[in-house]
Amino acid sequence: MAQTIEQRISNLRARINNQKKAFRHKVKKQAFRFKPFSEKQKQVLTWWCPDSTVKDADGIIADGAIRSGKTLSMSLSYVLWAMNSFNQQNFGMAGKTIGSFRRNVLFWLKLMLASRGYKVVDHRSDNLLVISKGDTVNYFYIFGGKDERSQDLIQGITLAGMFFDEVALMPESFVNQATGRCSVEGSKFWFNCNPDSPQHWFKTKWIDQCEKKNLLYLHFTMDDNLSLSEKIKNRYRGMYVGVFFKRYILGLWCVAEGLVYSMFDPEKHVTSEHMTGAKEYIVSVDYGTVNPFSCGLWSFDGKNSIREQEVYYNSREKGRRVDDEEYYHMMDEMIGNHKVSYIIVDPSAASFIEVIKKHGKYIVKGANNDVLDGIRVVTTFLNKEMIKIHESCEDCISEFGLYCWDEESTEDAVIKENDHAMDDVRYYCYTFLRQRLRWKY
Ligand SMILES: Nc1ncnc2c1ncn2[C@@H]1O[C@H](COP(=O)(O)OP(=O)(O)OP(=O)(O)O)[C@@H](O)[C@H]1O
Ligand SMILES: [Mg+2]
């Protein structure tokens, strides 16, 4: 007999529910698979234990290379220390943002704690973890150093410990606030980070003063993570160049100096050929009226990109200012018959974005303007020779040879000259290419 619609819906619901149950069961069973801990990780895991010679330190700092096993060992050790030393106390745990902490730290931490018999209840709306084992119960509040609400919330709380993951990415004011809340006897501070500039506040005020502050200091390299194969380590090594290699791979606090794109080599990166078989075309724009206007047409074949053509208009040199309509027509002429997926524009160029929208011919997107992350991504693509510049793009090629770090600045900054094509190249790489290639390379 044919089923009624209600019966079919009810059967379908039952099937979906069974699938959901099976999935939950699978996730629960998926305990964390530990590889042997390295000596450094063991130090992080045991420094506070009763038979340790350094147990009276007021905290620990671990800095160094990416993927070197700092977060994993420190987050686990922090909770084990808290649960072994206190009961019914509040603790703080912070990442750059609450979201990044949940993604990078909490996911693994929960698996590790579950495999050690701890019960973790996550009150997501309060960003509170209640962790218990036997009669011991402690409360762990999650904060985001860059989240404004976290800055307010941390003011009223009394803490027995504070763990900062990626501390160098947080504002100093948040770290001072949070450490100031640790008034319980026996409280300790736990910090980890990747290196930055030697003048960074965390280097000068915490690492350089760790003895005075009675803090333990450990330096990690990728060899301190025994779960990484040589192949994976080599892949990471190949991803970074220049100052980023020194910081993220060698783990050094070093100044960003000289040319930003010192790896740019005309032999490798300038081409006399246009791309054949491009899958997509994208335009990137850095807008300027007094400063130069720079705009590039990029071809993309699914892996590699070529800056095929450019418009670079310097009103000072030309002695004539140009309005948005005229810029639009220059860009439109450059695009010609190419089928452009979208145009990425400097997010502050509101009037130019409006002009593109008004013409209704192209889709326009605001660029992601995170300068340092963007530069890092461009260096990676240059290093892998995945972006090339057509020889006709002379202004872009010339800026690659001029764009410099500001060595006078106390934090990473570029000199804001010869940076117009450099900005539009960064918009292309960071807003388009990184997204397209995220899972592939
Ligand atoms: N003993 C271990 N057993 C299994 N996996 C491990 C072990 N130690 C580290 N890992 C894994 O190695 C990777 C890197 O570790 P972790 O995130 O702790 O490094 P990190 O130094 O904090 O890196 P970053 O500086 O990039 O944040 C993670 O995927 C982590 O789960
Ligand atoms: Mg980490």
What 180-187 contacts at long range (C-beta under 8 Å, 24+ apart), as own/partner pairs, is 181/92, 181/154, 181/155, 181/157, 183/158, 183/159, 184/86, 184/89, 184/158, 184/159, 184/160, 186/85, 186/86, 186/160, 187/159, 187/160, 187/161, 187/162
Residue 435 has pLDDT above 80, yes or no: yes
**Separation CA 6–CA 12 (nearest Å):** 10
76 in contact with ligand 1, CB cutoff 6 A: no
Amino acid 1: pLDDT: 54
Q: Where are the beta strands (DSSP E) in 72-169?
A: 90-95, 119-123, 128-133, 136-144, 161-165
Distance of CA 412 to the CA centre of its chain: 16
Amino acid 30: pLDDT: 57
Dump pLDDT digits (tens) for 222-269.
999 999 999 999 999 988 888 999 999 999 999 999 999 999 999 999
Q: Looking at ligand 1, which residue's alpha carbon is closest to its atom 29?
A: 67
In the chain, the amino acid numbered 355 is V
Mean pLDDT of the chain: 93
Question: Which of these, 286, 272, 273, 300, lies nearest to 381 by C-alpha position?
Answer: 300
Which of residues 157 and 34 earns the better pLDDT score?
Answer: 157
pLDDT band at 440 (very low <50, low <70, confident <90, very high): low
Amino acid 5: pLDDT: 79
Report yes or no: 280 and 338 within 8 Å, Cβ to Cβ. Answer: no
Dump pLDDT digits (tens) for 415-427.
998 899 999 999 9
Dump pLDDT digits (tens) for 135-185.
999 999 999 998 888 888 888 899 999 999 999 999 999 999 999 999 999
Amino acid 149: pLDDT: 82
Residue 18 has pLDDT above 60, yes or no: yes
Contacts of 129 (CB under 8 A, 6+ apart): 93, 106, 120, 121, 122, 123, 139, 140, 142
Nearest atom within ligand 1 for CA of residue 70? 21
Q: What is the mean pLDDT of residues 6-16?
A: 84
Pocket test for ligand 1, best of 33, 42, 61, 67 (most atoms within 8 A of CB): 67
CA of 175 to the centre of ligand 2 (A): 17
**Separation CA 95–CA 264 (nearest Å):** 34
Q: What is the mean pLDDT of residues 115-121?
A: 95
- Per the document, the length of the chain is 441
204 in contact with ligand 1, CB cutoff 6 A: no
Q: Looking at ligand 1, which residue's alpha carbon is closest to its atom 2?
A: 35
Report yes or no: 93 and 105 within 8 Å, Cβ to Cβ. Answer: yes
Beta bridge partners of 136: 133
Considering the domain delimited by 266-437, tell me its CATH architecture. Answer: 2-Layer Sandwich (3.30)
Task: Find tokens 């149950």 and name the residue.
Answer: 21
Amino acid 4: pLDDT: 79
Kindly state the helix (H) or strand (E) to which residue 177 belongs, with its residue range. helix 172-180
Amino acid 27: pLDDT: 53
Residue 77 has pLDDT above 70, yes or no: yes
pLDDT band at 275 (very low <50, low <70, confident <90, very high): very high
Amino acid 361: pLDDT: 97
**Separation CA 377–CA 317 (nearest Å):** 31
Report yes or no: 62 and 220 within 8 Å, Cβ to Cβ. Answer: yes
Domain boundaries, given as residue ranges, for the chain? 39-228, 266-437
66 in contact with ligand 1, CB cutoff 6 A: yes
CA of 104 to the centre of ligand 1 (A): 10
CA of 166 to the centre of ligand 2 (A): 6
68 in contact with ligand 1, CB cutoff 6 A: yes
Residue 325 has pLDDT above 60, yes or no: yes
Residue 198 has pLDDT above 70, yes or no: yes
CA of 330 to the centre of ligand 2 (A): 46
Residue 63 has pLDDT above 60, yes or no: yes
CA of 235 to the centre of ligand 1 (A): 15
Quick one: 39-228 is in which CATH superfamily? Answer: P-loop containing nucleotide triphosphate hydrolases (3.40.50.300)
What percent of the chain lies above the pLDDT cut of 90? Answer: 82
> CA dist 221 to 41, 67, 103, 235, 305, Å?
11, 8, 22, 15, 33
Report yes or no: 251 and 207 within 8 Å, Cβ to Cβ. Answer: no
Angle at 411 (CA atoms; ends 237, 372), nearest 5 degrees: 50
Amino acid 33: pLDDT: 77
> CA dist 46 to 1, 54, 294, 384, 439, Å?
68, 10, 55, 41, 37
Contacts of 99 (CB under 8 A, 6+ apart): 144
236 in contact with ligand 1, CB cutoff 6 A: no
